Amino acid sequence: MIPYGQYDTLAAHGHTHGHAHNQSYQSAHTQEQQEIPKYSRLLFKLPRVVPDQRSKFETEDLFKKHTREGEVRYTLHRDRPNHERQAKFQAGCRDGHTEISFSGSGLVVLLNWMTSNNSVDTKYPPSSYCDFNREQGKVHISSSFILNGVCVRWRGWLDLERLDGSGLLELDEALMLREEANLQKHLHLVHQRLKECEERYRTDADLQMKKLPGYL
C-alpha cells in the first residue's frame, strides 16, 4: 500500500521519466532525420537550337515563306513624325540594332550586328553588319540570329527615307555549326550529371535499406 502523500511524488517522478524518454526519442528521431541525404536539384538550360536545323529550315512553312525575297518595313516609333523616325532608324543602325517586320506574314524580328566599322569589305563581309556606303540612300544589313531553334541570317536593305525595303532569310552555316557543337556539349553534360545523380541516389538508397530494422 502506498501512503496517500506519496502519490504526487511518484506521479511527478513517472512524468519526469516519461518526459526524459520522450526527449531522448525525439533527439534520436531528429538525428535520424538529419542523416537522410539531401538530394540536389538538377537545373539545366533549354537548348537554343533543335537537333536537325537544316531539315527544319527546309521543311517548315515559316522558313519557306521567308527564304524568298520579300518586302520589309521598319516598325519602331510609329507614333512619331516621319522625319523623326528616319533619324531614329539611322541612329539605331549606327548603334547596331533595328526592328523590321515582313509585310507578307507580319513576322517581326530584332536585328543586331557589330558596329566597329560602317564600311564593310564586300569580298569578306562578317556574318552581321550594317553598310551605309554600298548604295546611296539605302542601308544594307546582314544579321544572324536564332529563329525557332534554327540559326538563320537576314540579308537585305532598307530605304533611308521610306523606311522600307527588301530581304530574305537564309541558313547561317557557320552559326549553325557553332550552336550544334554547344548543343552536343550541353547534352553530354546533362547525361553525365544524370548518371552521377543516379549513382549517388542508388548508394544512398542502399545505405537506408541497411539501417531498417530486421522485422521490416
pTM: 0.67
pLDDT per residue over 23-80, tens digit each?
544 554 444 444 444 545 556 677 889 989 999 999 999 999 999 999 999 999 999 9
The 3 state secondary structure assigned to the chain is CCCHHHHHHHHHHHHHHHHHHHHHHHHHHHHHHHHCCCCCCCCCCCCCCCCCHHHHHHHCHHHHHHCCCEEEEECCCCCCCHHHHHHHHHHHHHHCEEEEEECCCCCEEEEECCCCCCCCCCCCCCCCEEECCCCCCEEEEEEEEEECCEEEEEEEEEECCCCEEEEEEEECHHHHHHHHHHHHHHHHHHHHHHHHHHHHHHHHHHHHHHHCCCCC
pLDDT at 87: 97
pLDDT at 95: 94
- The residue type of 123 is K
pLDDT at 212: 52
pLDDT at 4: 44
pLDDT at 26: 52
Cell of 85: 523616325
pLDDT at 213: 54
Residue with cell 520522450: 22
Regions of the chain with pLDDT less than 70: 1-44, 116-126, 204-216
